[in-house]
């Protein structure tokens, strides 16, 4: 199995958690490619130190995020001929994953892993969730490389992976919101690029301003993830497809094709109140 890692680095990453993420790619993947977005020499030198490939795309991140990611995966990651890909943000580290664990996965599927948002001296359970970080390349899927068509929160993997997938009992620690300074940077970025809070619910942004956290027990979180995945196993050894606790619908803005997920049954609220006059329709 050929495993390829990819991630996206911005300026200032080298002074935070980037090297820890690069070490993950180094131990798990056969080859890794990093996309730099307005990076500094520090990021370039760090990628070079690990012998990884580097592609640079300096379009404005908050406006072109989905286009940047889509072009990167389509035009550069694909050329490395992966069977399986591991995609990480530059502040994420696996807790309980080895190379042999990845080799057991089906290269025709995508996999959700459990992401723990570390916060202060603990973590936030309400900000910890299952999300795609591992996906395969052997599906006959229309628009295989298409990302969610929105400038923010478009995912780290292509759109199809969020609908056709399984769970893996892997825990990933996210360090990017651990400090108040990091959260303040995130708030500033969202205020600049999503001032009307169109791409995530207002509660998402408000949560960034809170300093409260819960005690974090890594072993208990790993046990929870493993039990959750075990509960999905079927007699044939396969895993049930991922199901969110809330069924979602898609609404699309006709002007630019941007798609947003909204809770099923609440379409009217979003079309008539939250996004009134913006030209959205139910997909």
Range of the domain at 169: 3-178
Which residues are CB-neighbours of 79 under 8 A, at least 6 positions away?
A: none
CA distance 281 to 248: 14
Could you tell me if residue 157 is inside a domain? yes
Could you tell me if residue 207 is inside a domain? no
Could you tell me if residue 205 is inside a domain? no
Of 143, 137, 113, 119, give the one whose Cα is nearest residue 221. 113
The CATH number that applies at residue 170 is 3.90.550
* Alpha carbon separation from 264 to 205, 245, 246, 249 (Å, rounded): 22, 11, 8, 5
pLDDT tens, position by position, 171-210: 999 999 999 999 998 888 888 888 888 877 777 788 888 8
* Alpha carbon separation from 194 to 104, 186, 198, 246, 262 (Å, rounded): 40, 11, 6, 24, 17
Q: Are 70 and 165 in a shared domain? A: yes
Q: Are 128 and 254 in a shared domain? A: no
Instruction: List the beta bridge partners of residue 248.
Output: 263
At residue 186, the pLDDT reads: 87
Which residues are CB-neighbours of 169 under 8 A, at least 6 positions away?
A: 96, 222, 225, 226, 228, 229, 230
pLDDT tens, position by position, 111-157: 999 999 999 999 999 889 999 999 999 777 878 999 998 888 889 99
pLDDT tens, position by position, 77-114: 999 999 999 999 999 999 999 999 999 999 989 999 99
Count of domains observed in the chain: 2
What tokens appear for 67 in the block?
Answer: 């286009």
Could you tell me if residue 235 is inside a domain? no
Could you tell me if residue 118 is inside a domain? yes
Could you tell me if residue 202 is inside a domain? no
């Amino acid at each position: 199995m050929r495993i390829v890692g990819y991630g996206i680095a911005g300026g200032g990453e080298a002074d935070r958690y980037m090297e820890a993420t690069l070490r993950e790619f180094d131990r798990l993947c056969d080859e890794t490619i990093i996309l730099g977005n307005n990076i500094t020499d520090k990021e370039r030198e760090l990628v070079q130190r690990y012998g990884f490939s580097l592609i640079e795309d300096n379009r404005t991140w908050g406006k072109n995020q989905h286009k940047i990611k889509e072009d990167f995966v389509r035009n550069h990651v694909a050329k490395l001929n992966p069977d399986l890909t591991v995609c990480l943000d530059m502040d994420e580290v696996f807790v309980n994953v080895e190379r042999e664990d990845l080799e057991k996965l089906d290269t025709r599927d995508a996999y959700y892993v459990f992401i723990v948002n570390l916060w202060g001296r603990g973590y936030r359970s309400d900000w910890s969730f299952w999300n795609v970080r591992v996906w395969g390349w052997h599906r006959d899927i229309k628009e295989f490389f298409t990302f969610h068509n929105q400038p923010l929160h478009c995912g780290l993997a292509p759109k199809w992976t969020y609908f056709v997938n399984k769970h893996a009992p892997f825990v990933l620690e996210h360090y990017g919101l651990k400090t108040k300074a990091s959260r303040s940077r995130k708030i500033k970025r969202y205020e600049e690029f999503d001032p009307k809070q169109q791409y995530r619910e207002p509660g998402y942004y408000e949560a960034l301003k809170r300093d409260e956290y819960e005690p974090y027990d890594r072993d208990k979180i790993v046990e929870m993830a493993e039990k959750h995945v075990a509960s999905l196993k079927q007699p044939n050894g396969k895993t049930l497809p991922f199901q969110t606790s809330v069924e979602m619908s898609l609404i699309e803005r006709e002007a630019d094709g941007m798609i947003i997920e909204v809770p099923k049954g609440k379409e009217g609220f979003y079309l008539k109140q939250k996004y009134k006059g913006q030209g959205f329709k139910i997909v």
